[in-house]
Amino acid sequence: MIEIWSKPNCPFCDKAENLCIQKNLNFKKYMLDIDFSREELFKKFPTARTFPQITIDGDLIGGYTEFSAKILEDK
């Protein structure tokens, strides 16, 4: 399962979501200040400095750049 930890008005978060939709991938999107707080984000991803943070089956992939490279290489 792909999980996208996102924030409002984030173009890279939107790109990650759109890539999932284009590739017909099952994903769950979590929004900052709705589904999680900044404190919870940094507890889950201590090295996070950007949005989105993306996991696949619980494993941290990184941000949009790392995610898109992985998805496009796997297809």
| The model's pTM | 0.93
Residues 6+ apart with CB under 8 A from 59: none
Q: How much is the pLDDT for 75?
A: 52
- Residue 45 to residues 18, 60, 63, 73, 75, Cα–Cα distance (Å): 23, 8, 11, 24, 27
**Domain 2-74 sits in which CATH superfamily?**
Glutaredoxin (3.40.30.10)
**Which pLDDT band holds residue 72 (cuts at 50, 70, 90)?**
confident
Residue type, 30: Y
Domain ranges of the chain: 2-74
**Which pLDDT band holds residue 23 (cuts at 50, 70, 90)?**
very high
